[in-house]
């Protein structure tokens, strides 16, 4: 063997993927066979402490100078991204964008701006927010701290490898179905609230400023989430604290997933993240400021979000659709990848308390507007995506059909 290590990953089909590592490890050849799903040590949430098969770090694949992507990452033709957006069945340039709202203007009493956010929640389930109160310097510091983390040697990151039981830590897949198609990303997941789940020892220690920066960033995003909740509640015509109370009041939960999308040799065949709606409440996304990738499904169109400088992209999760009895929408979205540039994004999730029943608000229910969803906890919704991976909006929509018979 030469200076570069060779790692052989043998799939059950006996097909082999050769990865030439750039990490400068000692020469080694590993041949890994898939574990059996039955070997999982089951936990109380129904997931195991082990993944059903060896984890493939996407960053390692990307750095191995592959000419194409392995079969496990190739999407069916119907799910592959297009290079253009289709509007009314006619290809057009991606000139349209999701709505933009000015939070400072709303908080100053601008009713027109308040109506804009209401329309965005009802029609798109997505909007960009500017003048939100979070310092641009903090936003940039958080994003670059995580970029530095993903550029660390693989051994430093593997010390924080996660498991399906909590997902907390460094990971590379969502879902535990053996043989499932995979997405072109690595990620880091961590908890902020409740405080009982916040464990700084599970946060990276490198780069040296990451824990301090991420902690401050999380505190600011919680404040932003609280402001947004009051506005969204008021726009439903209920008390501005109503949605927060439905989330459990002060006992709501908050967590973050940092997404790393390495360069992809064949981006037209893969996705960074498959189509899905978020199972929780509100997602506040800090996108990459250099590379577009997030796409929102609106009508028959996939809209590529062109992020504004120092803006957050906010989307509503399934719990907001349920609480509003479908007045607000959770929208399907996905992430495309790039052959020339990596991407880093920070998704902050402002969610209900995990174990309380979530159902349409009483104030929105009447004899002519019956509840569309049965009571169900956020834990139950989250377990679906953690078990099966991204599956569009199939889970929340299946419960509408159950109520309506």
Q: What is the DSSP string of 50-91?
A: S-SS----HHHHHTTT-SS--GGGPPPGGGSPPSSEEETTEE
What secondary structure, in 3-state letters, does 328-368 show? CCCCCEEECCCCCCCEEEEEEEEECCCCCEECCCHHHCCCC
**Alpha carbon distance 4, 23 (integer Å):** 8
Tokens of 373: 């969803």
pLDDT of residue 11: 34
Tokens of 273: 């993240």
The dihedral over CA atoms of 169, 175, 179, 180, expressed in degrees to the nearest 10, equals -120
Residue 268 has pLDDT above 70, yes or no: yes
Q: Is the pLDDT higher at 198 or at 390?
A: 198
pLDDT of residue 82: 74
**Alpha carbon distance 344, 151 (integer Å):** 11
> Which tens digits make up the pLDDT trace of 366-379?
999 999 998 988 88
Quick one: what percent of the chain has pLDDT higher than 90?
66
Burial status of residue 377 (CB atoms within 10 A of its CB: 0-12, 13-18, 19 or more): middle
**Alpha carbon distance 229, 240 (integer Å):** 8
pLDDT of residue 52: 86
**Alpha carbon distance 336, 339 (integer Å):** 10
Average pLDDT for 334-360: 95
User: 121 and 328 in contact (C-beta within 8 Å)?
Assistant: yes
Average pLDDT for 209-214: 97
Residue 139's nearest CA partner among 214, 206, 46, 31 is 214
pLDDT of residue 292: 92
> Which tens digits make up the pLDDT trace of 297-339?
988 889 999 999 999 999 999 999 999 999 999 999 999 999 9
**pLDDT band at residue 202 under the 50/70/90 scheme:** very high
Edge-to-edge order in the sheet of strand 282-286: 100-102, 126-130, 312-316, 282-286, 343-351, 253-261, 186-193, 169-171
Tokens of 338: 């790039």
The dihedral over CA atoms of 173, 260, 17, 154, expressed in degrees to the nearest 10, equals -100
Tokens of 248: 């459990």
Mean pLDDT over the full length of the chain: 83
All residues at 6 or more sequence positions from 76 whose CB lies less than 8 Å from its CB, including other chains:
none
Residue 40 has pLDDT above 60, yes or no: no
**pLDDT band at residue 33 under the 50/70/90 scheme:** very low
pLDDT of residue 87: 34
The per-residue DSSP string of 364-391 comes to G--SSS---S--EEHHHHHHHHHHH---
Residue 144 has pLDDT above 70, yes or no: yes
User: 248 and 353 in contact (C-beta within 8 Å)?
Assistant: yes
Tokens of 104: 């400072």
Cα 269 from chain centroid (whole Å): 20
User: 128 and 96 in contact (C-beta within 8 Å)?
Assistant: no
Q: Which residues pair with 261 in a beta bridge?
A: 343
> Which tens digits make up the pLDDT trace of 99-138?
999 999 999 999 999 999 999 999 999 999 999 999 999 9
**Alpha carbon distance 111, 105 (integer Å):** 9
How many CB atoms neighbour CB 11 within 10 A? 17
Neighbouring C-alpha atoms within 13 Å toward the C-beta of 405? 1
pLDDT of residue 395: 55
Burial status of residue 23 (CB atoms within 10 A of its CB: 0-12, 13-18, 19 or more): exposed
Tokens of 92: 């057009």
pLDDT of residue 236: 97
> Which tens digits make up the pLDDT trace of 241-259?
999 999 999 999 999 999 9
Which contacts of 66-71 are long-range, i.e. CB under 8 A and separated by 24 or more positions?
Answer: 66/265, 67/265, 68/265, 68/266, 68/269, 69/184, 69/264, 69/265, 69/266, 69/269, 69/270, 70/17, 71/15
**Alpha carbon distance 1, 359 (integer Å):** 60
> Which tens digits make up the pLDDT trace of 269-305?
999 999 999 989 999 999 998 999 999 998 888 999 9
pLDDT of residue 372: 92
Residue 104 φ/ψ, nearest 5 degrees: -60, -40
Name which of 223-237, 342-356, 358-372, 388-402 the model is least confident about. Answer: 388-402
Residue 60's nearest CA partner among 197, 171, 177, 154 is 154
């Amino acid at each position: 063997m030469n200076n570069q290590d060779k790692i052989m990953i043998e799939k059950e089909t006996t097909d082999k993927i050769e990865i030439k590592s750039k990490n400068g490890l000692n020469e080694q050849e590993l041949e890994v066979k898939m574990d059996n799903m039955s070997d999982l040590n089951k936990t109380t949430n129904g997931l195991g402490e082990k993944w059903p098969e060896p984890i493939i770090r996407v960053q390692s694949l990307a750095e191995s100078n592959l000419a194409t992507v392995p079969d496990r990452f190739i999407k069916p033709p119907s799910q592959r991204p297009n290079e253009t957006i289709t509007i009314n069945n006619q290809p057009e340039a991606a000139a349209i964008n999701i709505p933009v709202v000015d939070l400072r203007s709303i908080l100053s009493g601008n009713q027109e701006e308040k109506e804009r956010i209401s329309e965005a929640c009802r029609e798109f389930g997505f909007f960009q927010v500017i003048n939100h109160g979070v310092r641009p310097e903090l936003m940039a510091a958080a994003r670059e701290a995580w970029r530095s983390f993903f550029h660390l040697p693989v051994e430093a990151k593997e010390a924080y490898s996660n498991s399906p039981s909590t997902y907390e830590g460094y990971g590379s897949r969502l879902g535990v179905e053996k043989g499932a198609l995979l997405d072109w990303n690595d990620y880091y997941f961590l908890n902020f609230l409740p405080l009982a789940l916040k464990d700084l020892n599970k946060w990276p220690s490198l780069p040296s400023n990451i824990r301090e920066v991420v902690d401050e960033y999380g505190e600011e995003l919680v404040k932003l989430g609280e402001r947004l909740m009051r506005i969204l509640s008021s726009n439903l015509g209920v008390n501005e604290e109503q949605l927060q109370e439905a989330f459990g009041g002060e006992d709501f939960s908050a967590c973050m997933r940092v997404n790393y999308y390495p360069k992809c040799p064949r981006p037209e065949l893969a996705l960074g993240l498959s189509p899905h709606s978020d199972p929780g409440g509100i997602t506040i996304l800090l996108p990459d400021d250099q590379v577009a990738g997030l796409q929102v499904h609106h009508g028959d169109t996939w809209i590529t979000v062109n992020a504004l400088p120092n803006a957050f992209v906010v989307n509503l999760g399934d719990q907001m659709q349920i609480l509003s009895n479908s007045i607000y929408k959770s929208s399907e979205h996905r992430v495309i990848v790039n052959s020339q540039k990596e991407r880093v994004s920070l998704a902050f999730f402002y969610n209900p308390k995990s174990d309380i029943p979530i159902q349409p608000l009483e104030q929105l229910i009447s004899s002519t507007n019956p509840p569309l969803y049965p009571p169900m906890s956020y834990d139950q919704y989250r377990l679906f995506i953690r078990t099966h991976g991204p599956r569009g909006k199939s889970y929340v929509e299946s419960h509408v059909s159950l109520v309506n018979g």
